[in-house]
Amino acid sequence: MPVITLPDGSQRIFDNPVTVAEVAASIGSGLAKAALAGKVGGKLVDTSFSIVSDSKLEIVTDKHPDALEIIRHSTAHLLAQAVQSLFPDAQVTIGPVIDDGFYYDFAYKRPFTPEDLAAIEAKMLELSSANLPVQRREMPRDDAVTFFKNLGEHYKAEIIASIPSNEAISLYGQGEWVDLCRGPHVPTTGKLKVFKLMKVAGAYWRGDSRNEMLQRIYGTAWTQEKDLKDYLHRLEEAEKRDHRRIGRELDFFHMQEEAPGAVFWHPKGWTVFQNLIAYMREKQRAAGFQEVNGPELMDRSLWEASGHWEKFGENMFTTQTPDERVYAIKPMNCPGHVQIFRQGLRSYRDLPIRFAEFGKVHRYEPSGALHGLMRVRAFTQDDAHIFVSPEQITAESVAVTQLILDIYRDFGFDDVRIKFSDRPEKRVGSDDIWDKAEAALTEAARVAGIDYTLNPGEGAFYGPKLEFVLRDAIGRDWQCGTLQVDLNLPGRLGAHYIDEHSQKQTPVMLHRAIFGSLERFLGILIEHHAGKLPTWLAPVQVVVMNITDRQDDYVSKVADFLRNQGLRVETDLRNEKIGFKIRAHTLQRVPYLLVAGDKEVAAELLSVRSRSGKDLGQMSSQAFVERLNFELESRGRRTLED
């Protein structure tokens, strides 16, 4: 007689084992119709799952947090069924859920075309309308291998053969079509109504470039039509805001094959890059950080001692000298900062010691993962390491958290989510040390009064961390800043200080990054602002232009005055119509355009126009500077248009 406890605390008693679907039906026909799956004791299951003992049960409908994962997983199977219905010779491989959708990899004799995608999507809609029951069954592993080989599904057979022989294999069928899967899935294909196929790409079997190339079809699926439309709109906006395209249009940077994953900065882009550094340098100075700089090339032995060689070695660039010493180009700054800390005798009275570096690092990223400024092999970190005593962890962590959030606000990011990432599977240090580090970071988060979600197993290999996730103007999330508590690395590298009892103690090291990668942060900024960077950050803040050559001297005089006030100014004295010049600089996202004609020269005024097209009227050079300085001091939270 299983007793089923529902989320509201109410209970239902059944005389015999009962399925999730039957429990839903006992509550109401509406719930039974809406049920997509169940969650029994925290584990997702099919609605056909039989509950044999007392259990906690959640009925998963399209309002449940887990609904999208189940719908997307099931829609991947619908895609595979549609492909094999239209192209019987195609073999299926794997089809997982990914962010915002799913994909499925296929082996087929020719590339799929856009016309094929349209036909596949139409077939999926047909299969959805058929409302085919989705049924689960189990089969011994060896029987499952034989079953799929007989179907001609050699990739599936290879996957199953890699599973331990004592494990039962679960298969899901809808109509006459069957696939290998752990599930769970929706009860019928009729639950899958809101989806769209997006594109086809190549993918190696099992992700190994030595294997054959497969075709990967990407799709997206949602619970509501409105959500799909919103998603497609976000994609359209994201394409308009693509930092690679805007970067070319604004002449910020370029990348080329001779330096994969590295950036060629042009003058305007480098100006913005240096503005980021100048801003962060001032913020760090005010917060008590000392700037340092460590070598980019260090002996392998140091990386072995730190643990990076074992845990991160495959992502490091190395070189060997004629005397056979092996060096690594640094992928991180932390070991270098520990070496600086170790120079000289440190006292507990010196703590906390805050080192910061704009350190150039290199990490090997697969060529297929490279993506403009967002994913590179050579980048600059705004890295900092704070050496503290155990008693100082909380106060210092709170101060760092407040600094991070203040800085994000200056860049227009007011929606910041925080994740707590605990110990990963591959790590250094004992469980006891990890217990202490996680407890210290938890306490710091409590004192700082921040809300966070758990991100299990995603900590650094040497310590747990808080991850700061920015939500941009079109609703995308970007993980940028981190704060990590490290009780491992300082000891491994021999760092110590003398405590109040004249005893040697190992410091705790807090790892802190705010931009993370300056290259990536600039890419995020470009897309967040659609290239219209805040005036304080823009490479060119003002363009002064003439209407005819009679105003040339006046325009040059105004530009010199503005430059002397610390503004980044250009002039446009071309023999072109003023409308043409205004349009050109508006497309370049210049914040303010100043126009001088004969009337403005006579009155020693300027016509001021913003990049949004608003006419701000006439004002003197001095009045413009005073108003603009107010905007610059407020970091763009108030503009001349206000």
Residue with tokens 């991180």: 332
Pair (480, 549) in one structural domain: no
Pair (482, 501) in one structural domain: yes
Domain around 602: 542-633
Q: For residues 505 and 359, is the Cβ–Cβ distance under 8 A?
A: no
Which class for 371: exposed (0-12), middle (13-18), buried (19 or more C-beta within 10 A)? middle
Pair (492, 575) in one structural domain: no
Q: For 253, what's the count of Cα atoms within 13 Å in the CB-facing half-sphere?
A: 21
pLDDT at 634: 84
- Torsion, Cα 323 329 334 336, to 10 degrees, reads 40
8-state DSSP, 184: -
Question: Of 448 and 524, which is predicted with more confidence?
Answer: 524
pLDDT at 311: 84
pLDDT at 599: 96
Select from 471, 501, 528 the last residue of a domain: 528
Residue 33 maps to which CATH number?
A: 3.10.20.30
pTM of structure: 0.84
Reduced to 3 states (helix: H, G, I; strand: E, B; else coil), residue 366 is coil
pLDDT at 277: 97
Structural domain tally of the chain? 4
- Across 29-53, average pLDDT: 93
Nearest Cα residue to 184 out of 150, 135, 219, 125? 135
pLDDT at 86: 96
Long-range contacts of 365-370, Cβ-Cβ distance < 8 Å, separation of 24 or more: 365/261, 365/315, 367/260, 367/261, 370/260, 370/261
Average pLDDT, the chain: 93
Token pair of 86 as six digits = 């239209």
Region of 207 on the Ramachandran plot (φ > 0 left; ψ -120 to 50 alpha; else beta): left
Pair (452, 523) in one structural domain: yes
- Evaluate whether residue 518 is within a structural domain: yes
pLDDT in tens, 499-528: 999 999 999 999 999 999 999 999 999 999
Residue with tokens 């000392």: 290
Give buried/exposed letters for 574-596 (b at 16+ CB in 10 A, else e).
eeeebeebbebbbebbbbbbbbb
Residue 195 maps to which CATH number?
A: 3.30.980.10
Share of the chain above pLDDT 70, in %: 100
Pair (516, 548) in one structural domain: no
pLDDT at 435: 87
- Evaluate whether residue 373 is within a structural domain: yes
In sequence order, the β-bridge partners of residue 593 are 543, 609
Backbone angles phi, psi at 19, to 5 degrees: -85, 165
- Evaluate whether residue 19 is within a structural domain: yes
- Across 527-538, average pLDDT: 95
Q: DSSP for 292-326? A: ----SEEEHHHHHHHTHHHHHGGG--EEE-TT--E
pLDDT at 325 over 80: yes
Pair (45, 74) in one structural domain: no
pLDDT in tens, 481-504: 999 988 889 999 999 999 999 999
- Evaluate whether residue 533 is within a structural domain: no
Confidence category of residue 1, pLDDT binned at 50, 70, 90: confident
Pair (90, 47) in one structural domain: no
Confidence category of residue 434, pLDDT binned at 50, 70, 90: confident
The CA-based angle 181-137-129, given to 5 degrees, is 75
- Across 300-313, average pLDDT: 91
How would you classify the pairing of strands 592-596 and 542-546?
parallel
pLDDT at 40: 92
Pair (107, 81) in one structural domain: yes
- Evaluate whether residue 43 is within a structural domain: yes
Reduced to 3 states (helix: H, G, I; strand: E, B; else coil), residue 503 is coil
pLDDT at 142: 87
Rounded to an integer, what distance in angstroms lies between the CA atom of residue 45 and that of residue 18?
13
Nearest Cα residue to 476 out of 234, 229, 239? 234
Confidence category of residue 338, pLDDT binned at 50, 70, 90: very high
Rounded to an integer, what distance in angstroms lies between the CA atom of residue 205 and that of residue 92?
11
Confidence category of residue 550, pLDDT binned at 50, 70, 90: very high
Report the chain's terminal Cα–Cα distance, integer Å.
69
Reduced to 3 states (helix: H, G, I; strand: E, B; else coil), residue 443 is helix
pLDDT at 299: 95
Confidence category of residue 226, pLDDT binned at 50, 70, 90: very high
Rounded to an integer, what distance in angstroms lies between the CA atom of residue 471 and that of residue 417?
8
- Evaluate whether residue 246 is within a structural domain: no
pLDDT at 376: 96
Q: For residues 232 and 196, is the Cβ–Cβ distance under 8 A?
A: yes
Pair (520, 409) in one structural domain: yes
Select from 44, 60, 76 the last residue of a domain: 60
Residues with Cβ within 8 Å of 633's Cβ and at least 6 positions away in sequence, in order, are none
Pair (56, 137) in one structural domain: no
- Across 393-408, average pLDDT: 93
Nearest Cα residue to 155 out of 97, 110, 92? 92
pLDDT at 189 over 80: yes
- Across 171-193, average pLDDT: 92
Confidence category of residue 461, pLDDT binned at 50, 70, 90: confident
- Across 242-265, average pLDDT: 96
Q: For 92, what's the count of Cα atoms within 13 Å in the CB-facing half-sphere?
A: 24
- Evaluate whether residue 216 is within a structural domain: yes
Q: What amino acid positions are annotated as catalytic residues? A: 334, 363, 381, 383, 385, 465, 511
- Evaluate whether residue 252 is within a structural domain: no
Pair (401, 466) in one structural domain: yes
pLDDT in tens, 579-628: 999 999 999 999 999 999 999 999 999 999 999 999 999 999 999 999 99
Residue 572 maps to which CATH number?
A: 3.40.50.800
Select from 495, 528, 561 the last residue of a domain: 528
pLDDT at 454 over 90: no
- Across 301-323, average pLDDT: 92
Residue 279 maps to which CATH number?
A: 3.30.930.10
pLDDT at 156 over 90: no
pLDDT in tens, 133-154: 999 998 888 888 888 888 888 8
Pair (186, 280) in one structural domain: no
Rounded to an integer, what distance in angstroms lies between the CA atom of residue 72 and that of residue 99?
10
Rounded to an integer, what distance in angstroms lies between the CA atom of residue 393 and that of residue 532?
39
